[in-house]
């Protein structure tokens, strides 16, 4: 099913409310298009605009001149450079029903069914026109009011994907969108804060504000995506005629051939389909990939591909009739930061969490969002009571991007950082960006032990949180190793521990002693590692002794560990040395079955750069992603156990699909990862096909 907006249009009850709504919309548009800021987020503005349109439909004689329904998006920003052809915006649809109605209306207008549609991402940036004279970029102009725009040629040279010289010496205009990728946005905020400015609320605002800035002491990169190519006065007549007759898809291929950056090189390229039903499928595919894209999209653009259909449909004063934007639910909303809670994790990390005025994003009510760490709060200049931009896409944890500084009232209050551990009252180690209780894992021993006993770690059946609490309160365990020295009479003395429960727990502990090194390492909860990284470290070094002997240079040879993470992992392993010694003394396994140890000379130190032997087996050399619900003989396996199976078969497990992925095992309900694999032409396997590949290892 096509994703649709879940929020209704704003309700406008009378002419006074209508006038206020028009004023609010005009103010929001002016603030955004003039400097990249706005008192309204996208969803709030869309609801307001739809409410205005609904009221005007019932009162056509009372439409105010400032109404957004009659203006091109961006019309609040004046410009003095005339466009050779109106630079229109797009009308929107928000639901499957509205999309179906649009396709029917288009067919009626041109008196035939459209047989070719171009479908691509609606990029969340700022529309511009780039003029080239004999192949050289001479001018960059914003959309403005659609008839004239603002000259922003000063930004030329800072926009990636916008070539200063085309591959051919032609005179043309390239239209497109300037935006900031996620990485560019993070960099822009770092630079802006370093120069004493407030962070941008989101990438689109950052691009809009940056594009117009003329006298900043710094520059930050942006990215251009072309979506149009047209003739200018001075364009060769034959070329001008050709550009006017090309299907939209071929027009964009021509632009790409000239060196213009388009969606073609992304995971969501524009594609041509033949029916509205195929459009729906493509919309679903793009929507499924949205959360994984390195740039923002707020919808999908559907265009009539053939030039004859576009001419027959024509354009209105505001938007072409041959194209529509199918808007996706907003992933960013503005709300208020009410409080900051300080929680202590199982490794002793003191983590801040923002308490929000409830806000609905993508159908979920969000009341909490991550604040990362104290240093991040300071960098962003957050205060209690701030209006903040909250971002949530797909299944990611909601995060607070930045304060919306221009909405401050003066009543906001500083965020108070804890001076002692909020859990145990001990000192806090503030030497790193992520603060940590001086007691480390012992501060939250119950959480640490319950995690270690979990299915994807040591898998100690019968040792849930309630039992862990009982053991800790009875003084029987003070760390993970103490679990393996528990005696039968000690357990029998506990409440609700009969002979059967005691024997079962002791048997589970005996089994846990034999777990592979990768699970033991994961159970230790080394900061900067998780299940996948623990497996990679264990398979690389093969024994705990080799891991403990490795220095930072050796550690960073493990796939996925860079120069920043390696020293902290080495330091954490050294800190855990007494606990590791106790575990080994208690008979816990410290080797990784099936992995080949490195030569003795390379077991540690600076020379430990030789990896364990390359994987052998049916998946040797393959990078495998598992997604969706497994069925058949694989249904009993957790995702972690599936990834372990991949690596025992000689492959490398991964959580994300990229061009380097070899195989995607797609179970029931596989969504965006399957779609991306299909887009990239990556081999797909059902759970049953994968089970056949690794049958010898399933037992």
Catalytically annotated residues: 122
Contacts of 216 (CB under 8 A, 6+ apart): 195
Q: What whole-number distance in Å separates Cα of residue 464 and Cα of residue 43?
A: 43
Nearest CA to 535 among 523, 552, 517? Answer: 517
| DSSP bridge partners of 340 | 354
DSSP, res 591: B
Per-position DSSP letters for 139-195, written without gaps between them: EEEE-TTSSEE-B-GGGTTSEET--SB-SS---EEEEEEEE--HHHHHHHHHHHHHT
Tokens coding 16: 């006074």
d(CA 371, CA 446) in angstroms, rounded, equals: 24
Helix axes 465-473, 445-452, angle to 10 degrees: 130
Would you give the DSSP letter of residue 629? B
Sign of CA dihedral 458, 462, 467, 471: negative
φ, ψ at 198 (rounded to 5°): -80, 145
Element (H, E) at 364: strand 364-370
φ, ψ of residue 250 in degrees (nearest 5): -75, -30
> What is the Cα–Cα distance from 547 to 540, expressed in whole angstroms?
9
Q: What φ, ψ does residue 511 adopt, rounded to 5°?
A: -65, -40
Token pair 């096509």: residue: 2
Q: Which residues contact 381 (CB under 8 A, 6 or more apart)?
A: 193, 198, 199, 403, 405
- C-alpha dihedral, 652 to 657 to 661 to 665, nearest 10°: 70
Residue 45 neighbours by CB distance under 10 Å = 20
Residues comprising the chain, all counted: 699
H or E element at residue 93 = strand 92-93
């Amino acid at each position: 099913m096509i994703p649709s907006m879940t929020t209704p249009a704003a309700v406008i009850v009378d002419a006074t409310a209508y006038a206020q709504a028009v004023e609010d919309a005009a103010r929001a548009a002016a603030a955004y298009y003039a400097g990249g800021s706005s008192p309204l987020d996208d969803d709030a503005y869309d609801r307001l605009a739809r409410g205005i349109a609904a009221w005007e439909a019932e009162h056509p004689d009372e439409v105010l001149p400032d109404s957004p329904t009659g203006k091109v998006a961006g019309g609040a920003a004046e410009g003095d450079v005339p466009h050779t052809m109106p630079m229109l915006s797009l009308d929107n649809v928000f639901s499957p029903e509205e999309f179906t109605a649009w396709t029917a209306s288009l067919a009626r207008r041109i008196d035939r069914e459209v047989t070719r549609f171009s479908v691509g991402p609606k990029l969340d940036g700022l529309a511009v026109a780039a003029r080239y004279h004999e192949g050289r970029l001479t001018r960059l102009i914003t959309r403005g009011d659609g008839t004239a725009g603002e000259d922003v040629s000063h930004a030329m040279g800072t926009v990636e994907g916008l070539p200063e010289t085309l591959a051919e010496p032609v005179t043309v205009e390239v239209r497109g969108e300037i935006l900031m990728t996620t990485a560019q946005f993070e960099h822009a905020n770092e630079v802006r804060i370093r120069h004493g400015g407030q962070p941008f609320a989101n990438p689109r605002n950052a691009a809009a504000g940056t594009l117009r800035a003329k006298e900043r002491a710094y520059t930050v990169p942006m990215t251009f995506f072309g979506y149009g190519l047209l003739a200018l006065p001075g364009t060769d007549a034959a070329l001008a005629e050709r550009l006017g007759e090309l299907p939209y898809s071929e027009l964009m291929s021509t632009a790409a051939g000239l060196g213009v950056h388009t969606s073609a090189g992304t995971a969501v390229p524009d594609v041509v389909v033949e029916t509205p039903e195929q459009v729906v499928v493509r919309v679903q595919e793009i929507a499924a990939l949205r959360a994984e894209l390195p740039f923002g999209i707020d919808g999908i653009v559907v265009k009539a591909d053939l030039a004859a259909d576009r001419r027959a449909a024509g354009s209105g004063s505001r938007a072409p009739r041959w194209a529509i934007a199918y808007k996706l639910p907003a992933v960013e909303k503005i709300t208020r930061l009410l409080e900051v809670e300080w929680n202590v994790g199982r490794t002793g990390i003191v983590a801040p969490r923002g308490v929000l005025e409830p806000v609905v994003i993508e159908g979920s009510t969000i009341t909490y969002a991550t604040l990362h760490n104290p240093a991040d709060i300071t960098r962003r200049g957050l205060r209690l009571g701030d209006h903040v931009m909250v971002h949530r896409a797909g299944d990611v944890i909601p995060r607070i991007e930045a304060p919306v500084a221009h909405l401050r009232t003066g009543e906001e209050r500083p965020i108070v950082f804890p001076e002692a551990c909020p859990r145990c009252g001990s000192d806090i180690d503030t030497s790193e960006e992520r603060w940590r209780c001086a007691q480390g894992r012992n501060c939250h021993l119950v959480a640490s032990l319950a995690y270690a006993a979990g299915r994807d770690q040591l898998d100690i059946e019968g040792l849930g949180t309630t039992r862990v609490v009982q053991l800790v309160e009875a003084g029987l365990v003070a760390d993970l190793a103490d679990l393996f020295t528990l005696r039968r009479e000690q357990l029998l003395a506990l409440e609700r521990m009969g002979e059967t429960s005691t024997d079962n727990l002791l048997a589970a502990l005996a089994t846990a002693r034999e777990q592979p090194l990768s699970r033991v390492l994961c159970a230790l909860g080394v900061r900067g590692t998780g299940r996948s990284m623990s497996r990679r470290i264990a398979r690389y070094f093969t024994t705990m002794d080799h891991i403990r002997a490795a220095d930072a240079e050796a550690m960073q040879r493990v796939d996925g560990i860079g120069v920043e993470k390696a020293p902290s992992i080495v330091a954490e392993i050294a800190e855990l040395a007494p606990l590791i010694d106790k575990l080994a003394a208690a008979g816990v396994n410290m080797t990784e079955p099936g992995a080949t140890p490195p030569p003795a000379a390379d077991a540690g130190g600076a020379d430990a750069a030789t990896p364990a032997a390359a994987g052998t087996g049916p998946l040797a050399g393959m990078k495998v992603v598992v997604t969706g619900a497994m069925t058949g003989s694989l249904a009993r396996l957790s995702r972690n156990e599936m990834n372990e199976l991949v690596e025992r078969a000689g492959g490398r497990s991964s959580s994300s699909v990229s061009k380097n992925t070899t195989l995607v095992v797609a179970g029931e309900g596989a969504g965006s990862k399957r779609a991306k694999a299909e887009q990239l032409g990556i081999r797909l396997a059902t759970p049953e096909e994968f089970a056949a590949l690794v049958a010898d290892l399933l037992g």
